Amino acid sequence: MANHKKQIKMSYEPEADVLRIEASHKPIEYAAEMGDAIVHFSPDGTPVYFEILKVSRFLKQASKLLPLSLRRSFAPARA
């Protein structure tokens, strides 16, 4: 049985504050903008490439969804 490991590639462009995630090598047929994200789809409708715009703001907002104890383990409280 062949080992088909999927490798996700990510890159961050600080000047534009954009996180890019390549989840598949399938060809891209079309893209859809969804708020501050752009999702690129293959011809069969599989999402294959993601661009998260204003990613710093996105991560700050997303971190608010974590339990306080978990948030503190990533970033200690400010003095």
Tens digit of pLDDT for each residue in 9-42?
Answer: 999 999 999 999 999 999 999 999 999 999 999 9
Give yes or no for residue 76 having a pLDDT over 60: no
Query: What is the structure's pLDDT at 79?
Result: 45
> Which amino acid type is present at position 57?
R
Percent of the chain with pLDDT over 90: 63
Q: How far apart are the first and last CA of the chain?
A: 55
How far is it, in rounded angstroms, from Cα 7 to Cα 38? 20
Domain ranges of the chain: 9-74
User: At 1, is the pLDDT very low, low, confident or very high (cuts 50, 70, 90)?
Assistant: very low
List the beta bridge partners of residue 13. 18
Please provide the DSSP assignment of 19-77 as one string.
Answer: EEEE---SPP-EEEEETTEEEEE-TTS-EEEEEEETHHHHHHHHHTTS-HHHHHHHSPP
